[in-house]
Structure 1
């Protein structure tokens, strides 16, 4: 049976580097393919290189070395207005002295589109974001969420091949931001346009994206689907940055066939996935998601001996914080339905044993 071949990339970064001062590289040897119709998020902490990557794709910055291709054509010397790429900024960048429809008309006028066609395109774009009734208003007469929708409509109005978004929901309150995440995802699905989205918010990236590229120190650490990124991080940085994660220092006692046995400082022994390719005797860091830990009785396999410190109520679950050995702490998410009796029996200072299955324990290079 033949396997389906991968589509031709819409965008390709080939060995791209970027330096602002000629010495420090903010983007290091970037290789990345972006496929037609996908929603790709660039995720990472401040200064990791994700926004610089987006700005080079938009044409507001140029690579120090390497090449960026759009449909196999080099963009290295193409100015922004000739790239057919829509852009949505965090501050929306709407012209305050122009009405909503005039803001949308601007990119069409630059492209010398006839007046009748401009009017049709503006009406279509406003309908996409459910803002048709606001055409005559000015940006100052709109809420933050409404301005965000207009900025998105302006990015879509000239039918771009690609839409770039630089933390466009960052200025919105939590409830509206979560609502707009779902709206953006639905709009992307209905339009089929390629979206590239920059964020430092890992929950935002996981909610909306087909794939997520995790940046750190100018390097892509991992590019994967959201569920793979969360369940199978390739290193301790990705494990810690994407979702909640416990990290504990340990020593490898034995290693074989992608598995290993590690011993924690307080002497608990765990079987784990040997993600870092570690040899016996090596120091390592183990990573365990807090929802993968369960309270068990003493003597159970793959359990960590700990001391309960405190609990915090979160509505649907309780977060239990524990001390492991002299230095490390660990926390556990316990759903209320199945753990109420165990939670009621916990008091600060009481011993507790926390079990995780070997496939949910990952051993990394420190």
Structure 2
């Protein structure tokens, strides 16, 4: 590109009028790039869209001209022309939850590897109006697919206000046959935890559940009770927390006053941390007097005192399968409604042990 060409382009770009004096100039166009590169606008368009049929020498001339002029392709216009936006929307109930954050991280990483961006809309409060508003915003932002990380009671009472072509996959809910669901095997993990404690000789297992409105907490609670009844064991009174260590601590103080409590299954590791603190303060030794099992296997679980026995969730796998499902749908493959369950595994550490001899086998 000669100095004369550059000067001419600058004059064209600023319009040669008073607007240039105000520091405003028009956007460099595809025609500008074509003129500098010595090719047609159609060739510039093909290079912008990554057409492999363009001769390498020509492609490089176009790319050099784009760089020299500061040309930026209009990705929105190209998306409209293609009919897709290469974007996956995610609506999530909470960014404070370990599971949600780790699942979201996996979704973003997998989407990026597939050439998709992720648009995140966190809900400030779990209301139906907020859910409807999130669907509307995603429609306006133009996405190809949506991953919903939300509770079942909101999903069941809300109809997604999205265009028919937008694909939907759900995490942590029960969508029936409307959408495909990817989730951890909540019930299988809870049963494994309860059976582990019963096999250690404990007469029964107490349970600190999560919030009543939580799908995951509900599944774990159901499995806890079912596992006890299958073995003909007494079902102790249910305690309920809100996923926080503080609520676990309050429940732990109550459990410490129960002389027959020798085993506790806690619905998440954060509450289990609070339970451990309360038992320690009340002089109930773990695991010599009371065994404790958590759920999640957060990174800190191995550093609890004592290190926590817990159910490991593969949050990364959940995220990967969500992206896999939406990409298959976008390719036109059939993805049936129903649920894909990601297996859990019990990680045994030092917070569980055989039941004290004087209470073993009692019912």
TM-score (norm 1): 0.25
Q: Which has the larger radius of gyration?
A: 2
Structure with higher helix content: 2
Q: Which has the higher strand share?
A: 1
The TM-score, its normalising length taken from structure 2, stands at 0.25
